[in-house]
Amino acid sequence: MERIRIAKPWISNLEISYVQDAVSNGWGEKCYTYIKKLEKRFSEYLGIKHAVATSSCTGATHMALVAMGVGAGDEVIIPETTWISCASAVIYAGANPVFVDIKEDTWCIDPDKIERAISPKTKAIMPVHIYGNVAEMNEIMDIATKHNIQVIEDPAEALGAEYYGRKVGSIGGCGVFSFHGTKMATSGEGGMFVTNDDELFNKFSVLHDQGRVSEEKRMFFPHHIGYKYKISNLQAALAYAQIERIRELIQKKKEIFNWYSQSFSNFDNVKLNYQQKYAKCCYWMPILIFDKPINIDQSGGLIEHLDNHGIDSRPFFYPLSSLPMFPKQQQNSVAYDLCKRAINLPSPFCITKEEVNYVSKMVMSFLNNSN
């Protein structure tokens, strides 16, 4: 059996044809053609006014924070469990990340614990829809409104997920997405900023264009210090095709998740991604959580066991405050606990039902031999 990879994009003839067109014709006056097409199609899909393609989600997050006025001495509340890029972007902007614990079921930031972390320095909240799960945006937006705090929504791992009928990323003051090679839709590397706020969009656009303003008619005459986080037309061609196929891609991920659900349905003491009744997860990556009595942690040998049987897997995100560059916040007990008993299961678009059953069989064989 060929090795089962953790993730792999689904590239069809449509993607190949658009990239070939961009390579052959996307130069000179056509060098932005696919970028503009991608931004328009993406904003239409989300039902949001503005979309700006970037070289990465991290770059989009950095510029969004600066455009929102976040700077030196400010604080941004982020979940304890997420990828480090969220904290990095806050630090790039000159601010300080404040880590808040997550919910036991969704693994997203816990609104009940956000208010306790708010201080006079708090400028923004960054909820992250982790692993395709959905954060409690109504509660978060109510808290933000009450305290006059901005919200930057991060659905980098949740493109296509919904909350009360709205696409995630369109609920906060702005949203940021990723087109990394492992994500729901890919450009290899890339990102997207979205917002309904005209003023925020204009500020972001100036920053994104090296500080140039539209009113200035002189070429090469920026008015501000800006950034170079632009996506290429070639990358945009790939992402544009993926967004044209986004419903097909999401449906495939749901099918893969359902295979895992069926495969583990007869086993107690394990659970997969949770979905609220009012939300629609996109199931970007299936996560298996072991109940505490099993006592399987990341050093327990499961990842190595799967690797030895030709299966890629990943650990659950470590708490950000457990990393060496941050002071530990072990009061965030849910995050510190979950990382010890959870694993990311492989879900490349090409995985088959038989391979999913094989992965499940190897997980359960390890558990049976460990008890």
- In sequence order, which ranges of the chain are alpha helices (DSSP H)? 13-25, 33-46, 57-67, 85-92, 111-117, 137-147, 198-208, 233-244, 246-264, 302-308, 333-338, 353-370
Dihedral angle computed from the Cα positions of residues 186, 194, 96 and 222, in that order, rounded to the nearest 10 degrees = 100
The β-bridge relationship of strands 96-100 and 75-79 is parallel
CA–CA dist 194, 272 (Å, integer): 30
Helix (H, G, I), strand (E, B) or coil at 109: strand
Q: Any catalytic annotation for residue 183? A: yes
User: Residue 258 has which token pair?
Assistant: 């359902």
Pick from 363, 171, 147, 360: which is nearest to 257 by CA? 360
**Helices 33-46/13-25 angle, 10° precision:** 140
Instruction: List the catalytic residue out of 113, 123, 167, 183.
Output: 183
Q: Which residues pair with 166 in a beta bridge?
A: 163
The β-bridge relationship of strands 122-125 and 150-153 is parallel
Residues with active-site annotation: 183
